[in-house]
Amino acid sequence: MLEFGAGTGRLTRALSRRAGLVVAVELDPDLVERLTHGFRTNDRVRVLQGDFLEIPLPDEPFRVFGNLPFGLSTTTMRHLLDDVDSPMTRADLLIQFEAARKRACVWPSSLASLGWLPWWEFRLVRHIHRGCFDPPPPVDGAILSITRRDPPLLRAEQRAAFVWLLRNAFGGGSQPLRRSLAKRISGRS
């Protein structure tokens, strides 16, 4: 299990009881020191200081749990989901409620969500009121669960062409798809 934003270790402790190994990633040096001290006798937790957007992801199958800064949810999802060949099997992310709702809606509402859909399934698991956080943020949070499709709807080598098609299809603003794509794809009617 890879945990992004381990903070004070409240969730790390619970994850360590269920996972074989938790790699707890935290950027803040004071929190890293606190985590290292708090888990010094727990051989199921390894603390790693660093920016979770810059650490190399595992080469073997892994899961992710992240209590993410709300402003970094899309950037983090790009880091985790854009490489559809990665061995990640699942991610459970605590993010801003509206972002989780947008990603999990039946009809994806963003180009990024559509670009991930052939390889990943999104589900809003739980709405968490802002009063449950310490300190409370200005908005509610939610747990978004992302699982790898098995089998995927497209092969990994088709991703670049698929994303190209999406960008061109939706690059025409309010134009109908047929008109938006007509200039980019010839010989089709």
The domain in which residue 110 lies consists of 2-156
Residues 30 and 92 both lie in one domain:
yes
pLDDT tens for each residue of 83-117: 999 999 999 999 999 999 989 987 766 788 889 99
Asked whether the predicted pLDDT for residue 23 surpasses 90, the reply is yes
Same domain, 178 and 96: no
One domain for residues 183 and 128: no
Closest CA to 12 of 37, 31, 34, 39: 39
Give the SS3 label for residue 125. strand
% of the chain surpassing 90 pLDDT: 72
Q: Are residues 103 and 129 in the same domain?
A: yes
Same domain, 49 and 14: yes
Rounded to two decimals, the pTM is: 0.86
First to last CA, the chain: 48
* pLDDT at 189 (0 to 100): 45
Q: 150 and 183: one domain?
A: no
State whether 162 and 152 are in the same domain: no
Domain count across the chain: 2
| Residues 57, 33 within the same domain | yes
Q: What are the beta bridge partners of residue 23?
A: 2, 46
143/182 same-domain check: no
Residues 130 and 161 in one domain: no
* Average pLDDT of the residues of the chain: 90
125 shares a domain with 95: yes
Q: Which two tokens stand for residue 89?
A: 């099997």
